[in-house]
Amino acid sequence: MHNTGTEYLSTERKPHVLDELATLFPPLSEEQRSSLEAGLLSNGCYSPIVVNEDLAVVDGHNRFAICEAHNIPFRMLVFAFEDMLEAKQWMVNTQRGRRNLQPWELGKIALKLKDDLEAHAKSKP
């Protein structure tokens, strides 16, 4: 995984959402979402949305949805990932420090990655 250094504005390109990435984490609570929305409406979207080279959202699903709903412009940073598993692992490592995820929630996320991790391990000689 690496930051390609490529950056787009939402006025130039439109990212898309992949369900397998968007549903990896539990949804925000109504309070969390309302707080995020209020901040975006007041301050704009100052943190970029991270996308892969196909412009699929990897980080910032909630910000992206709120920005789209309110026509709030945003920046996108393009990161290159070896495969979808690497993108998911990066998401977990990035979000672990941001969200107050309970151990049982992290366990549920790990279970979602189990099949991908096993397939990846079997593909290596």
Q: What is the mean pLDDT of each run of 10 residues along the chain (125 residues)?
A: 96 97 92 96 98 97 98 98 94 75 69 73 76
Q: What pLDDT shows up at residue 116?
A: 72
Distance separating alpha carbons of residues 79 and 118, to the nearest angstrom: 24
Q: What pLDDT shows up at residue 57?
A: 98
Q: For residue 76, which of 88, 59, 93 has the smallest C-alpha distance?
A: 59
Up-side HSE of residue 57: CA atoms within 13 Å toward CB?
Answer: 23
Q: What pLDDT shows up at residue 100?
A: 63
Distance separating alpha carbons of residues 90 and 81, to the nearest angstrom: 9
